[in-house]
Amino acid sequence: MTLSANDKRLIQVSFSKVEPIAEQAAEIFYAKLFEYDPRLRSLFKSDLTAQGRKLMQMLSTAVKGLDDLESLIEPLQALARRHLSYGVTVDDYTPVGNALLYTLKAGLQSDFDQQTRQAWIKLFTVVATVMREAAYPEFNAATYVNRKVYNN
């Protein structure tokens, strides 16, 4: 899956509106993530404020790297391998994607239109696939089915 120039523009413009409220966005994200899957709360041993900063930094890096997605592969693979040691499973990426979409919708409101939503879904699908493949060599995106994906 590739991102079109319009997808990249929509992601960049929408993220520029989220950055000023990054701390609040991170709070919304984690609240929704733990609502979707309360089991995930136990994976977070550190301060959620600090974790929220890391999340927003990772998103910022991804958004800035949209014109060179290849450059994101190694850092995402390393991140995925680190997540294994925290107990992250292949299915945990689904509630993360859903919480991200919810957060964007809550933060952007009417600016989070269907085209922008689809652009973010494409980006998160690329990110999650790279990470899943790095952490779970048996993962095959073409055959992986999880009906809870991106239901926001």
Identify the three-state secondary structure at position 29. Answer: helix
Q: What pLDDT is stored for residue 139 in this prediction?
A: 79
5-135 homologous superfamily:
Globins (1.10.490.10)
Name the residue among 6, 15, 4, 12 with its Cα closest to residue 100: 15
State the residue for tokens 């992986």. Answer: 144
Copy the structure tokens of residue 15. 């993220």
CB 128 within 8 A of CB 89: no
Q: What pLDDT is stored for residue 50 in this prediction?
A: 92
State the residue for tokens 């850092």. Answer: 75
Q: What pLDDT is stored for residue 147 in this prediction?
A: 46
pLDDT digits (tens, 9 = 90+) for 26-75: 999 999 999 999 999 999 887 899 999 999 998 999 999 999 989 999 99
